[in-house]
A and B are shown apart, each in its own frame.
Chain A
Amino acid sequence: MPFLFSLPPYMSDILRIENIRKTFPGVIALDDVSFSVARGEIHTLLGENGAGKSTLMNVLTGLYHPDRGQIRIAGEPIHFTSPRDALAFGIGMVHQHFMLVPAHSVFENILLALDNVPNFYSRKTYKEKIQKLIDEFDLDLDLDTPVWKLSIGAQQWIELIKLLMRDCQLLILDEPTAVLTPQEAERLFSVLRHLKKQEKSIIFISHKMREVMEISDCVTILKKGRSIATLTCGDFDESKLASLMIGKDKILQWQKNLQMSDEIVLDIHDLSVRNDRGLSDLDGFNLRLKKGEILGIAGVAGNGQKALAEVLTGLKNTSQGRIMAGGKDITNSNARYSYIAGIAHIPEDRKSIGIAPDMSVDENLIMKSFKSRSFRNWIFQNKKAIRQNAAEKIEQFAIKTGPDGTPVRYLSGGNIQKVIIARELSEHPAVLVALYPTRGLDIGSAGYVHKVIADGADRGMSTILIAEDLDELLKLSDRIAVMFRGKLIGYVNPRKTTREEIGLMMSGEIPGDAA
């Protein structure tokens, strides 16, 4: 039994982190971080990307060993050497990417996570135990359903139950709402509040200000590897948090041109796309994009957004339907032709498909135009022109790079994104398909991306903006199209709609159906 239960009653801090420092060669990931989490507290960790949140969590769950500093649990100094150690002390984490076996049932997945299950276990006892937890939190979960049939929200519950079955007293949730609809997020919050009543402590990591305001008892702000402030509920509001988090860095201001022509630049008609498993990612999908418009696409992740972007940029073939761009049929052509036809693409997973990680910034910036005459002499690359192009782009987009020739992989997420954007926008595309362009970026970089998109719209560039943060979509879009299971559910006007309306549409309800 973890000794958390033998807590002396006067020790209310379940976890105390003191002066943690962790360096990697050439990088100080955590400089000096201290904070403590009390019993029954929801403690939010807020910070830009690169502020050290994930490193800190990795230290806390035993993946990294800090160079200096102390972790105390109930006052006792502790060294973790693996996540197993952390679990034994009742610290569990729900990762952004769930650790579930899709083909197995809910019950089997939970059982897998438990230690000390006897070889001949009583299925009934364990089921009853788990069922008790499910009932307690009023979760709608059938133990015998295979995991792949469940919604993302339900899969998250399984991860939570896994930790609760192990009697975890401190739960760490890494951006848990990123994959949820607003309704599912609401549900998660009520579960968290219930946990809080049971004296469990929660470390909640999030970017979304609104949620932070809604759920936190306490907020610790991380900046450049330091914990710069811990505020308790009532002491903070959104603007205070934002200013602490970014400090002196200004959020770029931009103004969107509301004038829009009615010219259709992209017309998608009855588009269907099958994935590798033969299921339909897009199923009779329709979309019309006007010139100079920012068209937001809302939908729970995995409802065909990725397929839409891949089809538009020629990475995937259609099985049915038609895409017209500027009067040209680009339905089935490879990425190069789509690019010539004027579609640029900011991919979802920048590291895995946006860049060649081992190559330099210079080389990455010409990835789409390396064949153009300005970058070559006959069959040889014109290294001088390539360098000059890079110098211009680095200056223009304020990319922070290392010394010349540094592989792109060593850049921060925000700077990698800038490299991609610089490359994609340098040819003045007519259409930009941006898939989660600000995911994982700090507020400063995200603001920059927004500005680039808005400025592009002023110049007549049309953008399909696929994002998961409704606030981002509402702020930036001229129109929002809602997707569900590969179909277009409908358009809404971001200036007139409500979050609830979009949320309902995201779960497949066609507006006006209920009436």
Chain B
Amino acid sequence: MKLVIERREISSPFLRFSAPIASIGVALFVAGFLLLASGVSPLAAYKEIIIESLGSLYGLSETLVKTTPLIFAGLGVSLAFRMQIWNIGAEGQIYMGAMGATWVALFSGLQNHWLMMVAMFFAAFLCGGLWAGVAGFLRARWQVNEVIVTLLMNYIAILWVDYLIYGPWKDPKGFNFPLTAQFSDTARFAEYFNTRMHSGFFLALFCALILYLFIEKTVWGYEIKVIGSNQKAAQYAGMNTGMAIFFVLFLSGAIAGIAGFSEVAGLQHRLQHGLSPGYGYTAIIIAWLAKRSAIGVVIVSFLLGVLLVGGDSLQLLWQLPVAFVYAFQGLILFFLLASDFFIIYRVKLIKGVARA
């Protein structure tokens, strides 16, 4: 008897559909042991997660609040994935976007709400875009690995924002806390149902729709798909792949940057330390789970929003550390990647061995 691993010529649609669900199931199962080790019944914990995040208007609104930045960042990352470009820097791009929006909110002196919103949007768009664009330029011009560049630039962005809020932008009335002054009402999103849910969520859905049309229906989307499928073929068909790489990374970062805009305008109303608790990294998981589709990003972001809100309640109820939520995310991604192996390959038992 011998185990043989063979590549499947055609992956079965059933497996492609069921494997992600199964891997989330396995992740739940393994995470159950972590819960048990902390003395919490897994079933009770999972039930708590569902009830807290979906069982009430407040819970649902909180879930959507968490979903919003995840959608933006997830869209950004998945756009780049579409072209086989790995943008690991959504976290930094969120910070830069938030910084751009904050700069407009605090220092532009615009009085009109809509004008202010548009200006903040574009500032965030540009800052996030240019931040990722650096990696795009280096990759297009000198083949510098964009994974490393985008990843390392996260640290720069986060520390740069820290510098601003500990230094020049610090709120003089803020009791020396690392945060800027609060935005005026012109620079805030509308809120709904007396909850923290804000317009950013609808902007995120709109963004997803636009991105879907962009990828699936436009000439540029076609170009991106060709380059993603085979860069050499694209080059030989006369496409300017360097330009496309820069453009896609720029756009990818810009969309992640809007997440920063949405967070400061909709939720926090100021720039502060730790404004994103790792949304940019979660976005990588989201893009992967969503198989790079814009609609998928919305769905998966919502699921992870549920997990984040539910995880918060676990912290309150059982004093579980927030690390549990990250461990759970990690488990999901891990099993998902593993399931890809079973989608691509088949494992076969073969009887009879050569006698040599």
Query: Which residues does A use to contact B, with CB under 8 Å?
Result: 2, 24-27, 62, 64-65, 78-81, 85, 88-89, 313-315, 334-339, 345, 347, 352-359, 363, 367-368, 370-371, 376, 379-381, 410
Contacts and interface: CB of A to CB of B under 8 A. Distances in A.
B222 A381 contact: yes
Interface of B: 2, 4, 6, 8-10, 12, 217-223, 225-226, 229-230, 232-240, 348, 350-354, 356
21 contacts: A2-B356, A64-B6, A65-B4, A65-B348, A65-B350, A79-B351, A79-B353, A335-B237, A338-B238, A345-B236, A353-B230, A353-B235, A354-B236, A356-B229, A356-B234, A359-B226, A363-B226, A367-B233, A367-B234, A371-B219, A380-B217
A359 B8 CA distance: 19
A356 B233 contact: yes
A315 B236 contact: yes
B236 A313 contact: yes
The main secondary structure of chain B at its interface with chain A is mixed
A425 B8 CA distance: 34
Contacts of A80: 354
A410 B11 CA distance: 12
Contacts of B348: 65
Given A359-B229, A363-B226, A370-B219, 6 more contacts: A89-B354, A313-B236, A335-B237, A354-B236, A356-B230, A371-B219
Contacts of B217: 380-381
A358 B238 CA distance: 19
Q: Which 6 A-B residue pairings sit nearest by Cβ, starting from the closest?
A: A336-B238, A88-B356, A356-B229, A85-B354, A79-B352, A367-B237
Nearest to A2: B356
B71 to A, nearest CB: 24
Given A2-B356, A89-B354, A363-B222, A335 B235 contact: yes
Contact of A380 (B12, B219, B356): B219
Nearest to A345: B236
A245 B280 CA distance: 59
A315 B241 CA distance: 12
Contact of B8 (A25, A313, A336): A25
A410 B230 CA distance: 15
Nearest to B237: A367
Contacts of B229: 356-359
Contacts of A337: 238
A314 B237 CA distance: 10
Contacts of B240: 334, 336
Contact of A315 (B8, B219, B235, B351): B235
A379 B233 contact: no
A370 B223 contact: yes
Contact of A367 (B226, B353, B354): B226
A355 B229 CA distance: 9
Contacts of B226: 356, 359, 363, 367
Nearest to B351: A79
Given A353-B230, A353-B233, A81 B238 contact: no
A355 B230 contact: yes
A359 B225 contact: yes
A177 to B, nearest CB: 28
Nearest to B354: A85
Given A25-B9, A335-B235, A379 B354 contact: no
A27 B221 CA distance: 33
Given A25-B8, A27-B9, A356-B230, A380 B218 contact: yes
Contact of B350 (A79, A353, A355): A79
A399 B292 CA distance: 31
B219 A85 contact: no
A89 B356 contact: yes
A161 B343 CA distance: 40
A352 B9 contact: no
B9 A24 contact: yes
Contacts of A367: 226, 233-234, 237
A372 B265 CA distance: 42
A368 B223 CA distance: 10
